[in-house]
Structure formats: structure tokens, C-alpha cells
A and B are shown apart, each in its own frame.
Chain A
């Protein structure tokens, strides 16, 4: 009985911790889709860069050695730097690769996004950048269990990770629903040309969206590598899988729907971990994919939908 409860709570904790990170990534997909109506394939690569930039920082600050305990602010510092750097990368990607294609057929934008994704992966893997072999993220937090629920450890990393993710999402929620800029973002997402008639600088809003989405992705990448310290090389398929799950989260939540993406992320995290714990570990990636197919078949607008009429 106790063992069963322990498994349940361990699964729940892990599902929530990882799900909140999926949610962070899903937000980037959903925001870009909401405005530009295309799947930003390169978004998962921003997650990768976030993780790797964080790793390089942690290593260069000397936390890679076992006896150099990181000060409490190290993680925060690394988080902010990684978010800023990836925000800048997101900005550059939008300006250089996507902006020239405004108004181009969707397929071309999609191909460009795939090109950008490949470019980021394979450039990141070059020997003078991050290299093509996995690395180990130094631990920035003491490995102390905060509390145990029926024998299931709630570790500091999980709490900090999920807590940061929730804080960021609350911040984003405020930005989008309670600020002038957020209002402009929603307006652009609903009808770009009318938003420009209101005096909204559409290009600036799009750039800003990419910066915010990329910064959140960087945070997710960093937090993920704090939990799973083995950082895979940039072009590893595992990253693609992570991006794919986040994308499924966005679709499940109704792509373009900010709150839907948050809920969808947590749902995907729970589905993955409960499926792995109670059905089969080997097929943990398959559940998510099966859910995507089901949603596409029966509720293409997502579980929480978004009542947008496609503009002609």
C-alpha cells in the first residue's frame, strides 16, 4: 500500500515538474502560432541553446568541479543570462530568417523554420561552440529533499524548477492580459492589419513575441538540465522529442491559446510520467504522440479550443 502511494506521488511530482517545463516551451509555440500562423520548428533548438549556454556559464564560473559549491544566486544569474542570450537569438532569427518571408506562402515559412532549426542544431554542435558530445550539468542546488509525501521525495530542484516555471507563467499571463503591450499582442494575433491601423507597430510586436518565447524556452532548457543533468548534444533527437511534446501540449491546449498551452504542458507531463510508471517505460514517447493523433482526429482546435475563424 505504502509502496503504491509512493510510486503514485513520485510520478505526480515528476509529471508536474517536467510538465511545467513543457508548458514553458509550449507557450513559445503557441504565441508564435497565434501571431504568424506557423509552427516555429526552431523553437526546440532555442531550448537546447538555453541548456547549453547555461552549462557553459556554470562551467566557466567554476561550478563544474565537485567541491565548488555554487552560491544561492548562481542559478538565478545563469537563468537570467541564458534567457537574455536566447531572447537575443530569437530576435535575430526572426529578423534575419522569418521577416523577409512575411506574406510568403506558409510552406516556405515552414521550410525556413526547419532550415533555422537545422542550422542552430548543427552550428551548436561545431567543435568551437558546444561540441558533439553530451555533458553533465553541474549541480547548482544542494541535493536535499524538502519533504517526503508517502515516501516520495520532493527535491529542491523540482520545487525550484516548477516554481520558476510557474512564476514565469504568472508573469507572462500578466504581460499578455494586463498590459498595453499584451493587448497589442492579442490584437496582432487576432487581426494583424487592423492592429496596425490602431497604431500598433506590428513588426515590433512580432519581434517582442519571439524574444519572450525564446527567453521562456531558454529558462525551460536550463531548468530541464538542472533536473536531468546529462545534457545531450545539440543535434540529439532527444531534444526534438522534447520540443515535439511541448508542441503537442500547445495543440492539446488549442494552439494560439496561452492558458491552454500552460494546462496542456502539465497534462502532457502527467500523461508521460503516469504512462511510463503504470503502463510501460519504453513507450513513454508514444503516449504523447498517440494523444496528438487523437486530438487532431477529434478536436483539432484543442481541448480548450480557440474560437478563431480562419480569415480569408
Chain B
């Protein structure tokens, strides 16, 4: 039932995937507050850390679904975009703190407070939080810019070129970041160095350390839900539906012509944005970021979530992100075999159930819930 009509010539602008009304924003805010003020105190620190990792992986998996699932392209550069976003954001908060507050400890409100937030005598938000949010957005934008540069040449070609180019991109980012200058820590020196120069002092092979702490369950879950909303709108857009129905049919894809490239580039740029945001969030949670640890293994972790969840299923990616974040914790005793098992799972999955667990369907369109969803005109059910 998808229309592949000529009026799709230019496609929706990227901002069209931003929700129109405030309801999804409210839901995101509600869930984030719930996680921060109710789940965190109740579940304790171990479960809270896990919940944080799950949210980050949801952002990553869902953002990769936009490319690998919706457009039928294959990106292997998640870790590279995380690194770009993380370093960019870290540079903003770290050097920004020195510039704005004269110390590496910016003021933070209760939403960015470490540990159990209930009962802390802190205001809701302080100026440092705004700087942090701005830094995350900046990290996302820098990653999106990198995505544009990488995506433009390779997305005009066939899917596997993007894979190799993004793989190369990840490695290059690693090399470049690891050869950056050492991090400055002298307040006067930082004050006397112009911003463009500061951005070359990213810690080199030691990684960027001493990043201020901001990332809490509140921020990650807020970002996770916003990612979901954007992904869902993208999937439900006329373009998204058209893509899901044709992505494996190269002739039909050719027939759509130039506009497919535009949509692919847009999806890739948005995906890079969110990967960058995820990198920024991680950097402000771990308080350090090292490009050396963001090798392509990290990208593979995300790829396997997307593939297992279903190439094109948002909820499938969410589910897989959750399961694959918890599973290694349970299987610590066989850590050496984790990647071997993942790899085998990938191979067997492609032979036995190539569309992933959920294919392009959402969880509620499968099994016992299916009848209800059918009435609401769920997309993508007929894609082969």
C-alpha cells in the first residue's frame, strides 16, 4: 500500500522527522523523571548502571536501525560517530567549564546528580546542565557533519561500499583522535588558548579524561525516548514506508532514482547525530573517553542488536538492546566466547531467519497483539 509516487521527488526535510506536538516530549520527560527519581532509588546502583547502559544501547541500536534497517544500507561506523560526538561534547564541557566557571567542576542540578537524587538539596537545573545539553547537541551535530561527509560519496553507490567506508572512517577517527595533543589542565593556559586550538587538545593516546559528570538516568532515558520518536516518525513517513517495501528490490530502488540517495543521506546523517549524542552521554558518565576503546568491535555490538532485533523493527532493536546489554552480565564466566557466540548467532540467523526476529514489524504487530495492530494500518507487514 505504499505510494512510490513522483511527488516524492525531493523528500521530507530532516526536520520533518521531529514530532509536531508535545505529547511525545511529555512522555519522554515523564519516563526520564520516573527512571531518575523512582527507579534509581528503588533498584540500587548495579541495576541503575545497567538501566543506563540499556538506554545508551537503545539510542545506538535505534539510530543504526534508521540506516541498516530502513534504507537497506549498511553502516559499520557507529563507534566512530560515538567517538566524534563524545570527544566534541567532552571538549565543550571540559574547556567550557574552565572558561565559564574557572574550574573543571561546573554547577549541576539534581537531574545531573550522581547516585540517589532524592533528598539532595539541589536546584532542578543549573547553568552547567544547560552547557551539558548544548554539548550533547554539539557532539551530535559534529557527528552528523562527519556522517554527511562520509555518507555522501558512498551512499550514491551500493550498500556494501558504505560498510567499508564507515569501517575505514571508524579506524581513521581513532587514529586522528589518538594523535591529538595532550589535554590542557592549567586554567590560565586554557583561558589564553583560542577555541579552535583547544579542540586539538583532546588527550591523545591517553584518551580524554577528567570530563565532568552529568549523565544520569534522566538524561539517557530522555535521549532514548526522543531517538525512538524520531525513528518512528521516520519509519512512518511516506519515504520510510516506501523504503521498507523496496529496500531489497534494487530495480525498484533504481526506479526511485535520485530521491533515494537523498533519503539515504538524511537517514544516515540523523543516525550519525544520535550516535554522536550517545557518545557524548557515555563520555559524561564514565568521565573519560578513549578512541582506542571505540574500535569497530563496539560497532559490531550495535550491529548485532539491529540484526537480531530485525532489520527495520524499532521495537525489535530496543528489545535486542535490552537483552544484549543484560546477557553479557549473566554470561561473564564465558566472556572470551561472547564474540564467538555473537558471530555464530549472526551467521545462523542469516541462514535460518534472515529478516531478524521481528523483521520490519514492530513487536506489537507480531503474535497475540497482531489483530489489534492490523486494524490500525500498521506498515511494512507485507515486505519481503
Binding site for B on A (CB under 8 A): 38-39, 41, 97, 100-101, 104-112, 114-119, 121-123, 125-127, 132, 235, 237, 240-241, 244, 247-248, 282-283, 285-286, 289, 292-293, 296-297, 300, 312
Which of B158, B168, B311, B340 is within 8 Å of A292, CB to CB?
A: B168
Judge whether A106 and B344 touch: CB under 8 Å. no
Bound together, the chains give a CA A241 to CA B72 distance in angstroms of: 25
Bound together, the chains give a CA A26 to CA B194 distance in angstroms of: 45
Judge whether A111 and B346 touch: CB under 8 Å. yes
Tell me, rounded to whole Å, the shortest Cβ–Cβ distance linking A121 to chain B. Answer: 8
Report B-chain residues with C-beta under 8 Å of the C-beta of A237: 171, 174, 295-296
- 9 smallest A-B Cβ distances: which pairs? A115-B346, A119-B343, A118-B343, A122-B339, A115-B347, A105-B248, A297-B153, A112-B350, A282-B179
Judge whether A104 and B354 touch: CB under 8 Å. yes
Judge whether B172 and A97 touch: CB under 8 Å. no
Is the CB of B175 closer than 8 A to any CB of chain A? yes
Judge whether B174 and A116 touch: CB under 8 Å. no
- Give me 4 other A-B pairs in contact (C-beta within 8 A), A119-B343, A292-B165 excluded: A107-B159, A114-B303, A115-B343, A126-B336
Report A-chain residues with C-beta under 8 Å of the C-beta of B350: 101, 104, 108-109, 111-112, 115
Binding site for A on B (CB under 8 A): 68, 72, 74, 76, 150, 153-154, 156-161, 163-165, 167-169, 171-172, 174-176, 179, 247-248, 251, 295-297, 300, 303, 307, 311, 336-337, 339-340, 342-347, 350-351, 354
- Shortest Cβ distance from A288 into B: residue: B168
- From known contacts A38-B160, A107-B159, infer whether A289 and B172 are also in contact, taking CB-CB under 8 Å: yes
Judge whether A247 and B164 touch: CB under 8 Å. yes
Bound together, the chains give a CA A114 to CA B349 distance in angstroms of: 12
Judge whether A285 and B303 touch: CB under 8 Å. no
- From known contacts A39-B164, A237-B174, A289-B172, infer whether A97 and B347 are also in contact, taking CB-CB under 8 Å: yes
Which of A106, A111, A289 is within 8 Å of B168, CB to CB?
A: A289
Judge whether A108 and B347 touch: CB under 8 Å. no
Judge whether A289 and B169 touch: CB under 8 Å. yes
Judge whether A115 and B157 touch: CB under 8 Å. no
**A-B contact list, 17 entries, CB within 8 Å:** A101-B351, A107-B68, A107-B159, A108-B354, A114-B163, A114-B300, A115-B344, A116-B347, A118-B342, A125-B336, A127-B336, A237-B174, A240-B167, A240-B171, A241-B171, A293-B150, A296-B157
Judge whether A119 and B340 touch: CB under 8 Å. yes
- Shortest Cβ distance from B152 into A: residue: A297
- From known contacts A111-B74, A244-B171, A293-B153, infer whether A123 and B340 are also in contact, taking CB-CB under 8 Å: yes
Judge whether A111 and B343 touch: CB under 8 Å. no
Tell me, rounded to whole Å, the shortest Cβ–Cβ distance linking B78 to chain A. Answer: 13
- Shortest Cβ distance from A312 into B: residue: B251
Judge whether B347 and A244 touch: CB under 8 Å. no
Judge whether A107 and B72 touch: CB under 8 Å. yes
Report A-chain residues with C-beta under 8 Å of the C-beta of B76: 114
Which of A100, A117, A285, A300 is within 8 Å of B171, CB to CB?
A: A285
- Shortest Cβ distance from A105 into B: residue: B248
Judge whether B248 and A118 touch: CB under 8 Å. no
Residue of B153, B160, B175, B340 contacting most chain A CB atoms (<10 Å): B160
Bound together, the chains give a CA A241 to CA B295 distance in angstroms of: 11
- From known contacts A110-B160, A293-B165, A300-B157, infer whether A283 and B344 are also in contact, taking CB-CB under 8 Å: no
Tell me, rounded to whole Å, the shortest Cβ–Cβ distance linking A93 to chain B. Answer: 10
- Shortest Cβ distance from A100 into B: residue: B351
Tell me, rounded to whole Å, the shortest Cβ–Cβ distance linking A195 to chain B. Answer: 21
- From known contacts A111-B307, A111-B350, infer whether A116 and B343 are also in contact, taking CB-CB under 8 Å: yes
Judge whether A296 and B161 touch: CB under 8 Å. yes
Report A-chain residues with C-beta under 8 Å of the C-beta of B251: 312
